[in-house]
Amino acid sequence: QVQLQESGGDSVEPGGSLRLSCAASGRTSFRYCMGWFRQGPGKEREGVAVIDRKGNAKYKDSVEGRFTISQDNAKNTLFLQMNNLGPDDSAMYYCAAEVCLTDTLGHYSAVGSGYWGQGTQVTVSS
């Protein structure tokens, strides 16, 4: 059984920063990817950033250079540092395991159904 719990979502002004965290419990060793995904109002869920077992990161084009994914293996925690946020970044952000980006446009695929957290809301507005 895998549990993923996100935190760190908030309301910020354009240009602001946030750091999301995802605490994993239960099974914490994953074969493929862990990462962050988001779903904005009226939009499909998309991949934002993933990291594989070797520590290689992959990002959606529109967040490259602004977002940084990292992990603390000792604490079984995944992070997403988000800088220079804009209104288009407003979304519910989900942490997931065994779900990998298939390209830099945000498309993704899961091993089985993957494992998903409940999400944390990020709102960027002035």
Q: Which amino acid is at 34?
A: M
Q: How far apart (Å, rounded) are the C-alpha atoms in residues 20 and 13?
A: 16
**How many Å apart are CA 53 and CA 43, to the nearest integer?**
29
What confidence score (pLDDT) does residue 123 get? 98
**Residue that wins the pLDDT comparison between 123 and 53:** 123
pLDDT, position 112: 87
* Per-residue pLDDT reduced to its tens digit, 53-90: 889 999 999 999 999 999 988 888 999 999 999 999 99
Please report the pLDDT score of residue 74 as a whole number. Answer: 82
Q: Above pLDDT 90, what percent of the chain?
A: 83
- The per-residue pLDDT of the chain, averaged, comes to 94
